[in-house]
Amino acid sequence: MMNRQFANMIVHNYPKGVYSLRRINLMEYLFYPSTEAAEKAEVNKKGWLSTMLKGSPKQSLPKTNINFSSLPNMADLTTRHFFSLLRGQGEGSVMFVSPNVHTMMYDTSTDFVFGMPQANFCKQSDSIALSITRRSYGQDNHKLYVIGKGEDNALFEVLNYTRTTDLNNSSWYWRPLPCPPLFRPCLPGSNSKVCPPSAAAVLDAATICVSSVDAGACAFFDTATREWRQAGSWVLPIHGAAEYVPEFDLWFGLDDVIGNPNHCLRAFDFDSSRRPVVRHSWNYLSVLPDEWLPRQRHLLNMGSGKFCIATSFRNLLRHTSCRPLHGAVNELTVLTGVEVVRNVNGFQIIKHKSECYSLEDNRIHCVL
């Protein structure tokens, strides 16, 4: 993949029911000019997070590029506002799917908003999105596979967004796909239930791997035949979407936030014939005091072994009966820049800079 420079931060203003897109130049604010400069600065970083929590100034949010909103009666459905980056269109092409499945794309390079085909189902904000680009007939075919959670099962569909010069024959469309066969173990005589996916990875241009912690199982999807096959009683060692780095021939991902105060970046390898093997696991952020509860994590692959990790927290001590929990979910978000490099023992992680955003009426919905 090409190296990225910016991150797209989606900020939710809860009182107004508006979602704003804010762009951050990560290569300027989150990474040192070189690996050597990051290593020299590492010795001065001990205790910076504790100091920040005691009242040091936090970063202010970048300026708003554009606001998104849905119908007033759907404003409270915060978990059903889905955003994704359309990588085939560039690092500034952000797609928004509203709770009533209306879809649009905003292009930061042109400052244009484009109407898109309507999706087939409502998508949870934490749905897993996977991009696949395949070269065919002299052009790149771009597809976004979205695995969501329904009331009784997982939901799965693909967006084809291949650019074409023929404006009268648009190739942009959504297509529903069969649900991942991830079934919860059940007692004899009872009905098995499909479990929500917990992680997914693109194995190659024709294969997607999806696993579920609740089911304790994994399945492979053939993008050509649109058929599933069982993979085994194991799960991917991460939560959410994995990022493949071809320079290292490894997949990278983050651990789950639920009940887990640690913050780990994991590197693993696997193929279709065996379960994945974790090769490395690194702590990228210090553990916060108990009142700071991790809420969500997002991993951005910046290219050349560099990653931005967005970790959001809520402070349990700040919530009162007069202020509902869902009114200020993410009170603190930390953006961390890390770089994975080779060394004599295999690989090591180099920590670059971190930026903190403390929010009140706003919260970080996601970082793309």
Distance CA(220)–CA(218), nearest Å, equals 7
**Mean pLDDT score, 102-126:** 93
Q: How confident is the model at residue 325 (pLDDT cuts 50, 70, 90)?
A: very low
Q: 279, 275, 148: which is closest to 219 by C-alpha? A: 275
Strand, coil or helix: what is 117?
coil
**Whole-angstrom distance, CA of residue 284 vs CA of residue 287:** 10
- Please report how many Cα atoms fall inside a 13 Å half-sphere around the Cα of residue 139, on the Cβ side: 9
Mean pLDDT (whole number) for 171-184: 91
| Residue 119 near residue 97, CB atoms below 8 Å | yes
Q: Which helix (H) or strand (E) element contains residue 349?
A: strand 346-358
**Quick one: what percent of the chain has pLDDT higher than 70?**
85
Mean pLDDT of 24-37: 93
Torsion, Cα of 313, 317, 320, 325 (10° steps): 20
pLDDT at 162: 85
Tell me what pLDDT residue 209 has. Answer: 96
At which residue do the structure tokens 């649109």 appear?
226
137 pLDDT higher than 50: yes
What is the predicted pLDDT for the residue at 99? 92
- Report the pLDDT value the prediction gives residue 163, as an integer from 0 to 100: 73
> How far apart are the C-alpha atoms of 129 and 94, rounded to whole Å?
13
- 279-284 mean pLDDT: 94
* Average pLDDT estimate for 11-29: 91
pLDDT for the residue 170: 61
Q: To the nearest whole percent, how much of the chain has pLDDT over 90?
A: 58
pLDDT for the residue numbered 191: 65
Q: What is the pLDDT of residues 34-88, one digit of tens each?
A: 999 998 887 556 555 655 565 555 678 889 999 998 877 777 777 889 999 999 8
Asked if residue 329 has pLDDT above 50, the reply is no
8 A C-beta contact, residue 299 and residue 252? yes
Mean pLDDT, rounded, for 5-17: 91
- Rounded mean pLDDT, 242-260: 93
Return the pLDDT at 40: 86
Helix (H, G, I), strand (E, B) or coil at 325: helix
What is the arithmetic mean of pLDDT over 83-96? 92
Residue 51 has a pLDDT of 55
Answer yes or no: are the C-beta atoms of 84 and 146 closer than 8 Å: yes
List, in order, residues 6 or more apart from 203 with CB less than 8 Å away.
209, 220, 270, 271, 272
**Tokens at residue 204, please?**
């190659």
The neighbour count for residue 84, using CB atoms within 10 Å, is 23
- Position 166 scores a pLDDT of 55
Average pLDDT over residues 335-352: 93
pLDDT at residue 164, as a whole number:
64
**Domain residue spans in the chain?**
6-367
| Least trusted range by pLDDT, from 99-103, 224-228, 260-264 | 260-264
CA distance 163 to 170: 8
pLDDT, greater one: 357 or 145? 145
Task: Tell me 347's DSSP state.
Answer: E
Residue 6: the pLDDT is 95
pLDDT at 5: 94
**pLDDT higher at 165 or 223:** 223
Tell me the CA distances in angstroms from 178 to 196, 259, 307, one per residue in order: 14, 31, 32
Which residues are CB-contacts of 110 (< 8 A; sequence separation ≥ 6)?
none
Predicted pLDDT at 267: 97
Mean pLDDT of the chain: 86
> Tell me: the pLDDT tens digits for 142-161?
999 999 876 666 689 999 99
CATH of domain 6-367: 2.120.10
Which of the two residues, 191 and 341, has the higher pLDDT score?
A: 341
CA–CA gap between residue 345 and residue 112 (Å, rounded): 48
Mean pLDDT along residues 162-180: 77
| Beta carbons of 265 and 254 less than 8 angstroms apart | yes
Amino acid at 363: R
Token representation of residue 354: 């971190």
- Which residues have C-beta within 8 Å of that of residue 329, sequence separation ≥ 6? 295, 312, 314, 363
Instruction: Answer yes or no: is pLDDT of 238 > 50.
Output: yes
Total count of residues recorded for the chain? 368
Most confident of 131-140, 290-299, 321-330: 290-299
